[in-house]
Every structure is written in structure tokens, then in C-alpha cells.
Amino acid sequence: MKRLIALLLSLVMLLSVAAVPAMGEDLAAAAKAIKESKTYENTYNTYFSSSYASFNYYSTAYATVREIVANCIDGLVEPDIYGVYVPSLAESWEVNDDQTVWTFKIREGLKWIDHTGAETEYALTAEDFVDGIRYIADPKNDAYSLRVVRNMISGMYDYYWLLDDIDCELVTDKNREDVVASFDEMVGVKALDEYTVQYTLESSAPYFLSLIESSMLMLPVEYDYAMALGDDFAVDNEHMLYCGAYYVSEFERDKAITLSANPYYWDKANITLDTVEYQMIPDGTTSLEMFKRGMIDYTSVESEAYDSLQGTEYADKLLPTSHSFSTNYLWLDFDGENTEFKTFINNENFRKALLYSMDREVLAALREPVDPARILRNTINAEGAIYDSTGKDYTDYSPLKEIKETNYNQPELAREYMEKAIAELCDENGNIIGVEAGTVDYLPVCSFDIDGKLPVTICYVGTDDEEEIIMAQLFKAMMEESIGADYIDFQIQAFSGWTYGTVADPLNYDIYFDSLSTGYADPSGILTRLTTDGAENVGCYNVPEFDALIEKALAAETFEERLQYFAEAEAYLCGNGFVIPFISSLRGYYMSNSIPYTSPRTLYGNEKYKGTLVMAEPLTQEEFETLKAAYEIERDKALAGN
């Protein structure tokens, strides 16, 4: 009997394979037909919601600025439309066998241009990339999220803190100028000749290219120009130089920004849009309204808005947003003053109870009303972000795969675990052993009393952003329903976004809502920070097994072995409820007049407009599906190829 089934199976396999190519050809034809049938504009109108602080791409904390800079200043490499790294300002590059020394050959004859689009006398040379690192290595220039690059490039860590100690007069025997002059000897970045730059790293980094593409800190700068301007560098579009596909031709602060095509761009053939017009639109309702009036070419659609558009002419124009690598998770406080919660959270059963208590789809529905399951995520690192050399997704590695697929919406299981935890921790009439009554001082967030008896008081702290408030109230409703209001007393506290420092660091919370995102194509980006004494371990849990697994992963020879150990470590962390990831933070739907998958597929960096095709009227869903299917086939071919 088994043989018959095996025969049948292979037949089906054969058929599907056969069908695929057949389907593949007419799909590609259909996609090509759609593209030919449209007429294209040469300006793209879009908007930004919060004001642009300044264009200093090294020191700004604002994500919105990265979107502008990504189009105005090119890095060494960039992804093509399928995500494969292709040459950008670097014509070619090679790396030594243990991936610690990377050498890039810069494209010759390029010049920086200014805000009027005219070429300046500054040529783009390898020295500009070295100066980039020189600029961020000096503490005076307040480079932002320097930690990853500082620990990666050899000698930069010591150089940075030496300068810092000099500034705080801790070190008095050396003076600042000599140390700055000794930059070339200390720091592992050198311009071998006018057009070759070489980076030496502290340890092997197979993912170095994805770091170059995503991090602003690796971009070049014209050092003399920047130093001449001093504080005024990149204050607005007139005080900076450009070497990317576009330059900022017009900048009206808090109101409008215009990007114009760079006439001297090395990849001019690929530029399809002459200008990109940004204007400021603070809230979603206005942007939707203006999209309907045809004044902008793109708008995001919040979940409520989604329902209201059903039945209108825009019903078929709603497109699902693509992947987001940042994950929302609940952070638990293992060492807080709330002794009730502390005793319980250090018990594995209670953590499991929390894991199974949430109906995650309801939470996801807030962002993705149509198909909430799509944005569920039980792992910390996003799926479809990290691939091993065979193209296998990191999240499909064995222990993590099971965590990814488990359905955590099991309220009865949650209650069972809770009863187990209570049996272990409480005496028969409900007092928690070893916990007396008292007041918990989480000021300035809140302060409340605990009685040392059931129900366990849980203080959930979130920001006062409208959507997070709704989510908090959903947590409360779900947990009190599944685990039972007799066992837990869920209190919600909101703090204004700006006082994050007074909540997370000093442990003024029991459960805290946060998000982490995969910065580049390697799980170490997040996991190394989650070890017992990792920078991100704000909850102060201690997980020796997890730390050991991380050590093994870092010491692994092959990339696959490394991913395997990381998978086991992440499975341990999520499975035991030390951290509870639940959904990806992507925003449900959008509408757009542009053809998707025509611009470089930037996984970590920001959308580039090079190659984007913009129509006069919005793209329909069914056109989107065809283009997406066709693109995925080509992409698999391209990925398998390299």
C-alpha cells in the first residue's frame, strides 16, 4: 500500500513541477503585458508624517531622515530588485577567506554635487569612505547607534573611548590632536590607493555587505567640507553634498521636500523619475482623503479605514504591505519591586500560562483586518530575512520551526499552567509564599499596593500612542478571561513617549510592550544583546543555557552551524517565555500608483526610487498579485544563481 502512495505522490510532484514552468512563462508574459499597458509619470508625490529634523545622516535618530538620505547618498553596494548585492559606488570587491578583511574598488571619475545639482570640485574618492569612519569615530560628532559598527571595525572601540576619556579629563597625558592624527594606525580602515578602500574587522562578519547597505554610518562624507561647516553640516539641504540618484533641490521645513534627479549619476539609465515631491501630512485620515483627491500617489490605510473603503471604487485598490522585520514583544521584569509578580514570573509554568493566554489574531486584527494570521510571529528574528547559503530560511531550523508553528491561543492550557504555578507558589488559602503586603514604588510611572495574596497584581506599562492603548486593553481583557480575573489583576499605566528612559532602564514596570528589529542578515544582531548581561536584557533574567548556545554559535565554523545554534538559543528563549514575541509591527494595507518590485529590494535600508514606475491611477489588487507571483519566480532564480 505504501508503494502505491509513494507512486501517487511522485506523480503529483512531477505534474506540479511541470505545471510550474508552464505557469511561469505566461505569468511573466502577463506581468510584462501589465507593465506595457500603463503610461508612466515622471514625478512621484508622497508624504511624511513627522517633521524632518536635520539631514545629518550620521547623528540623527529619525527613521524618516534615512528615507531621504538613502536616495541622495549611495553606499558602497546596494541590492538589485531581487535583493542580490550589486555594485554601487564600489565597482567590485573581494574578501579574505575568514571574512575579516573587505577591500572595495571605488568607481572612478565621480564627483559630489550640491543642492543645485551642479558638480562641485570635490571628487568621490576612497578617502571619503575613510573620512566617514573618522567622522563617526570622534565622540564630539555624536554619531547615532554607533555600537554595532564600533565593535565591528578593529581598533575603533579603543579609539572612540580614548578620545572620550580625554574629553572628560580622565586621561591627561595625551592630547586630542595626536590621537586624532593616529586614527589611521589605530582604526582598521585604510585607503590603499585613491580608489580602493579596505576595512579590517574585529571578527568574521559574513553579513558585512547587509550592514553596509542598511547602516547610515558606512556612507562617505567630504571631510574638509563637513569640518568647514562644523555644526551647520547637513542642517538643511544647502549645507550638504550629494552622490546618490537624487539631491534635495527644495526644502521647506515641516512642509515640503523635493528630490530632483542627479544629472551626473553613474547609473543614470536606471532613473525613471525626474522629481519626488514630499509634503507633510500629519494623520492618516487626511492622507487617505488627499489620495482620493489624486493629490498624492501613495497612502497607508489604517485598519478602520479598510472597512470603510469596502464597496467604494477603492475596494480593489487596497494592497497588502510587504514584510516588516521588526517584531512586537512583551518584555517581562524578573527583578522588579512588585514581589508578587517577581515570584510568579520566575516560575516556568506561570510564563507558559502567559504564553498561551493571548488570542494573537485579535491583536493582529488591529493592524491587518483582512488576514490577521499573516502578521503573526512567534520568533524574535523575522522569517524571510536571514537565509543560509542553501537558501533555507533561518526560522525553518529545527527547534525554532516548531515554536514558529505552535498555536499559542489556548486559554484552557493557560489556566492549567496557572493552576500548576499556583500549586507550586501559594499555600491553600491563596497567600503567595514569601511575599508580604506593601507598596510598590514604580514612580514616576505609578505606585500601588500589593496584598501578598491572589490575584497576582500585574502592572503593564505602554506608551500613550492610541493604538498601543487599545492593544493594552485587549491584553487585559484576554489575560483576565483566559487565566482568570481571580488569579491575575491586570493594571494598565501609560507614559508619554519621551520618558522611556524612566520606565525601562530603572525597571519601573512588570510587563512592558517593546519592539526589536533584525538589523542585518544575521541573528547575532539581536540575540547577542539578549544574553543574561546583554545590553537589551532590561528584564534582568538569567539564562545560562541561552548564553552557552550563543557562545557556541559565535564560535561555529560554518554559517549553517552558526544558524543552527542561534535557532536553538532563540527557541529556548521564546519557548520558556523569557520573552513573548507575538506579531510583526507592519501596518496592514496601502494604496499606490506605482508598480511594485521595480526598485531595489532593500531589506533593511529604506526604499530607493531608482527604477520605480509611477502611473496616473492606482494599481488594482489583481494586477498586484500577478506582478508579485512573476517577481517571486524570477527572484528565486536569481537567489539560487549567486
Partner 1 sequence: MEKKMPELNPLKFRAKVFDQMLSEDTGYSNYSYWRSTIRTFFKNKAVVVLVALIVLIILMSFIYPMVSPVNPNKVALKRTMWNNRPSWEHLFGTDGLGRDIWTRAWYGVRNSFLLAFCIALSDVGIGMLVGAIWGYNKKLDPIMIEIYNVITNIPSTVYLVLLAYIMNTSYLTLFVSMASRGWIVEARFFRNRILSIRDNEYNMASRCLGTPMRRIATKNIIPHIISLIIMEAALCIPYSIGSEVFLGFVGIGLPVDAITLGNIVNQGRASFTLHPYQMLLPTIILCIITVAFYVIGNKFADASDPRNHV
Partner 2 sequence: MGKYILKRTLNSILTVMIVFVAVFMLLRLMPLSGYFPPEMIKETDEATRMTYLRNQGLLDHPIVQLGRFVKNLFQGDLGRSLTVYPKVPISTLLAEKIPVTAAFGLASMILGIVLGLSLGMLMVRFKDRWGDHLGTGYILMVRAIPSLIYLFFIQVWVSLWLNLPMVFDKDIPSSWILPVICLSLGSIAWYALWLRRFMVDEENKDYVKFAMVKGFSKKEVWKRHIFKNAIIPLVIYLPSDLLFIISGSLVIETLYVIPGTGGLLTTAIEKQDNNLVQVIVLMYAVLSVLGVFLGDLLIAAVDPRITLMEDN
Which residues contribute to the site for partner 2 (CB under 8 A)?
51, 53-54, 56, 59-63, 139-140, 142, 144-147, 164, 167-168, 231-232, 235-236, 252-255, 279-282, 286, 289-290, 463, 496-502, 504-505, 514, 535-536
| Interface with partner 1, residue 193, by CB under 8 A | no
When CB distances are held under 5 to 8 angstroms depending on the partner's kind, the choice from partner 2, partner 1, none that residue 139 binds is partner 2
CA atoms within 13 A on the CB side of 570: 33
When CB distances are held under 5 to 8 angstroms depending on the partner's kind, the choice from partner 2, partner 1, none that residue 144 binds is partner 2
From first CA to last CA, the distance across the chain in angstroms is: 42
| Nearest one of 290, 242, 301 to 266, comparing CA atoms | 242
Helices first, then strands: H and E counts in the chain: 21, 24
| Interface with partner 1, residue 231, by CB under 8 A | no
Considering the complex, state which of residue 196 and residue 517 has its C-beta at the smaller distance from partner 2: 517
φ, ψ of residue 257 in degrees (nearest 5): -135, 135
- Find how far residue 137's CA is from the centre of its chain: 24
Considering the complex, state which of residue 47 and residue 183 has its C-beta at the smaller distance from partner 2: 47
| Interface with partner 1, residue 492, by CB under 8 A | yes
When CB distances are held under 5 to 8 angstroms depending on the partner's kind, the choice from partner 1, partner 2, none that residue 254 binds is partner 2
Residue in 177, 466, 533, 557 binding partner 1, rule: CB under 8 A: 466
Asked if 336 and 509 count as a contact pair (C-beta separation under 8 A), the reply is yes
| Nearest one of 58, 466, 47, 45 to 254, comparing CA atoms | 47
C-alpha cell at 184: 589611521
When CB distances are held under 5 to 8 angstroms depending on the partner's kind, the choice from partner 2, partner 1, none that residue 531 binds is none
Asked if 28 and 634 count as a contact pair (C-beta separation under 8 A), the reply is yes
Residue in 184, 307, 427, 636 binding partner 1, rule: CB under 8 A: 307
| Interface with partner 1, residue 473, by CB under 8 A | yes
| Interface with partner 1, residue 354, by CB under 8 A | no
| Interface with partner 1, residue 472, by CB under 8 A | yes
Q: What is the number of other CB atoms lying within 10 angstroms of the CB of residue 559?
A: 18
Asked if 399 and 406 count as a contact pair (C-beta separation under 8 A), the reply is no
- Find how far residue 109's CA is from the centre of its chain: 35
Considering the complex, state which of residue 411 and residue 462 has its C-beta at the smaller distance from partner 2: 462
CB of 230 to partner 1, least distance (A): 31
Asked if 381 and 567 count as a contact pair (C-beta separation under 8 A), the reply is no
Question: Based on the number of CB atoms within 10 Å of its own CB, is 230 exposed (0-12), middle (13-18) or buried (19 or more)?
Answer: exposed
Of residues 280-299, which lie at the interface with partner 1 (CB under 8 A)? 283, 285, 288-289
Considering the complex, state which of residue 148 and residue 382 has its C-beta at the smaller distance from partner 2: 148
Amino acid at 549: L
Considering the complex, state which of residue 353 and residue 521 has its C-beta at the smaller distance from partner 1: 353
CB of 621 to partner 1, least distance (A): 21
Rounded (10°) angle between helices 156-167 and 126-137: 50
When CB distances are held under 5 to 8 angstroms depending on the partner's kind, the choice from partner 2, partner 1, none that residue 495 binds is partner 1
| Nearest one of 395, 406, 405 to 567, comparing CA atoms | 395
CB of 363 to partner 1, least distance (A): 10
| Interface with partner 1, residue 305, by CB under 8 A | yes
What SS3 state is found at 55? coil
When CB distances are held under 5 to 8 angstroms depending on the partner's kind, the choice from partner 2, partner 1, none that residue 476 binds is partner 1
| Nearest one of 206, 449, 465 to 338, comparing CA atoms | 449
When CB distances are held under 5 to 8 angstroms depending on the partner's kind, the choice from partner 2, partner 1, none that residue 470 binds is partner 1
CB of 589 to partner 2, least distance (A): 22
Number of residues that bind partner 1 (CB under 8 A): 34
Strand partners, 616: none
CB of 288 to partner 1, least distance (A): 8
Considering the complex, state which of residue 508 and residue 593 has its C-beta at the smaller distance from partner 2: 508
| Nearest one of 272, 249, 224 to 72, comparing CA atoms | 249
| Interface with partner 1, residue 359, by CB under 8 A | yes
CB of 216 to partner 2, least distance (A): 12
When CB distances are held under 5 to 8 angstroms depending on the partner's kind, the choice from partner 1, partner 2, none that residue 49 binds is none
Residue in 39, 172, 439, 496 binding partner 1, rule: CB under 8 A: 496
Considering the complex, state which of residue 84 and residue 494 has its C-beta at the smaller distance from partner 1: 494
DSSP annotation string for 78-144: EE-TTS-EEESSEEEEEE-TTS-EEEEEEPTT-EEE-TTS-EEEEE--HHHHHHHHHHHHSGGG--S
DSSP code of 69? Answer: H
- What is the rounded CA–CA span in Å between residue 621 and residue 623? 5
φ, ψ of residue 503 in degrees (nearest 5): -105, -60
φ, ψ of residue 329 in degrees (nearest 5): -145, 160
Residue in 444, 551, 555, 617 binding partner 1, rule: CB under 8 A: 444
Residue in 136, 365, 527, 630 binding partner 1, rule: CB under 8 A: 365
Considering the complex, state which of residue 252 and residue 617 has its C-beta at the smaller distance from partner 2: 252
| Interface with partner 1, residue 474, by CB under 8 A | yes
| Interface with partner 1, residue 375, by CB under 8 A | no
Of residues 118-137, which lie at the interface with partner 1 (CB under 8 A)? none
Residue in 16, 42, 308, 389 binding partner 1, rule: CB under 8 A: 308
CB of 519 to partner 2, least distance (A): 10
| Interface with partner 1, residue 476, by CB under 8 A | yes
Question: Based on the number of CB atoms within 10 Å of its own CB, is 633 exposed (0-12), middle (13-18) or buried (19 or more)?
Answer: middle
| Interface with partner 1, residue 499, by CB under 8 A | yes
Asked if 198 and 126 count as a contact pair (C-beta separation under 8 A), the reply is no
| Nearest one of 343, 288, 281, 284 to 312, comparing CA atoms | 288
- What is the rounded CA–CA span in Å between residue 56 and residue 46? 22
List residues near partner 1 by CB under 8 A.
Answer: 283, 285, 288-289, 302, 304-305, 307-308, 359, 362, 365, 369, 443-446, 464, 466, 469-470, 472-474, 476-478, 481, 492-496, 499
